[in-house]
Chain A
Amino acid sequence: MADPIKMRVTLAGDVATVKALIPHPMETGLRKDPVTNDMVPIHFIHHVVASHNDKPVLDAQWSRSVSKNPFLEFRVRGARSGDRISIRWEDNRGASGTGETVIK
């Protein structure tokens, strides 16, 4: 989980469009490792919270069906330049990560 969340925010009026890429393998538990031929254990982000200036605006529950290196786009209303957008995730093994960006 060394790779940080990548975020891009564009502001149009007071609506901030947030696009994020969360580096994560999102293993379904249904795939064989092509080298060892063992099943790769299930490993996926199951919970994501996005916040605007620390106030949660999006609370998402995910399954293993979300793609590898998940992409998430959402729109925050009432946003202004200088506001902070943050994303926090947790996976089924209890690992977590956060990312934050300031709206330009």
Chain B
Amino acid sequence: MKGRWFRVLVLAAASLPMAARTAPPPDPETDRQTLVRFFEARFPGIPKDDYVLGAFMVNPDARRHYEDIMSFPPFEVDLDRGRKLWESPMRDGRTYAECLPNGGERLAGSYPRFDETEQSLVTFEMLLNRCRAASGESPYRYDDRDTMGVLTAYARTLSDGMRMDIRIDSPGARVRYEAGRALFYRRMGQMNFSCANCHIDNAGRVMRMETISPALGQATHFPVFRGGDALYTLHARYTRCMEQVRAQPFPMGSGAFNDLEYFHSYLSNGLPLKASVYRR
């Protein structure tokens, strides 16, 4: 009798690998490694770096098509617009490359980063807006595809190949990480889904004709151009996900999304960045 109940409990635990959490939060690296092992078991034989391909990693036909599109993607036209913004001097004559560390190259994988002075997170897009402010320009809106959207879509390509390197090395940083983690596992909306329900528990499964991508690798490849055309920054994608579970989305660029991005990006530590990419 006892043995049978034990089996039931084990089965229940196995079917809810990440969702059921009541114990104090584990340390971030232990937590991340647990997740990596979970995905290794779910997707045996998939090379680590393939996780940046999302759902394409488990579908050779879709992956071939992705590579055909990426050989000369239609959104290069949009990236060109972003490059123009990137190269145009701002009010004081400076460019983003002159404002940013390392000329803006191999940089995006270190963001979001916790600013100890301000005791708050700085995303890569906020960094671009800080450059604008320093040069006497007004900030771009985080939900404007024609300015921040194309600018970050181009600027992030300068970090292609860099491996994600998110640091959580202070109590203040840990607080933001935990806030992002809590958001990731919180069920919300009329559908009562959390990020984890889809992108951990159901990753690799097909839901409404879409293969669900794993949480690991997602933060490495934004912005995406859905259908090769519609630009989605990571925060725009979060917004869409929240709409899909019928929740009221947080604003793009909000503290809540910044927290989520911090946790979400940390999960992808060690994976190569690749912006901007085609998604269906």
Nearest CB of B to A48, in Å:
16
Q: Once the chains bind, are A19 and B71 in contact (CB under 8 Å)?
A: yes
Could you say which residues of chain A place their CB within 8 Å of the CB of B228? 67-69
**CA gap between A21 and B75 in the complex, in Å:** 10
Nearest CB of A to B73, in Å:
8
**CA gap between A71 and B71 in the complex, in Å:** 10
Q: Is A97 interfacial (CB-CB < 8 Å)?
A: no
Q: Is B74 interfacial (CB-CB < 8 Å)?
A: yes
Total interface residues on A, CB under 8 Å, equals 11
Q: Once the chains bind, are A21 and B229 in contact (CB under 8 Å)?
A: no
Q: Is B178 interfacial (CB-CB < 8 Å)?
A: no
Nearest CB of B to A99, in Å:
13
Q: Once the chains bind, are B76 and A21 in contact (CB under 8 Å)?
A: yes
Nearest CB of A to B254, in Å:
24
Nearest CB of B to A5, in Å:
10
Q: Is A3 interfacial (CB-CB < 8 Å)?
A: yes
Could you say which residues of chain B place their CB within 8 Å of the CB of A31? none
Contact with B along A31-55 (1 / 0, CB 8 A): 0000000000000000000000000
Q: Is B77 interfacial (CB-CB < 8 Å)?
A: yes
Nearest CB of A to B88, in Å:
16
Dominant secondary structure of chain A at its interface with chain B: strand
Q: Once the chains bind, are B77 and A23 in contact (CB under 8 Å)?
A: yes
Q: Is A6 interfacial (CB-CB < 8 Å)?
A: yes
Contact with A along B64-79 (1 / 0, CB 8 A): 0000000110111100
**CA gap between A3 and B81 in the complex, in Å:** 10
**Residue in B closest to A67 when the chains form the complex, CB atoms:** B74
Which residues 70-99 in B have Cβ within 8 Å of A in the complex?
71-72, 74-77, 80
Q: Once the chains bind, are A71 and B77 in contact (CB under 8 Å)?
A: no
Contact with B along A60-83 (1 / 0, CB 8 A): 000000011101010000000000
Contact with B along A1-38 (1 / 0, CB 8 A): 00100101000000000010101000000000000000
A19-B72 CB under 8 A given contacts A3-B80, A68-B229: yes
Could you say which residues of chain A place their CB within 8 Å of the CB of B77? 3, 6, 21, 23, 69
- Known: A23-B77, A69-B75; 4 extra A-B contacts, CB below 8 A, are A3-B80, A21-B77, A68-B229, A69-B77
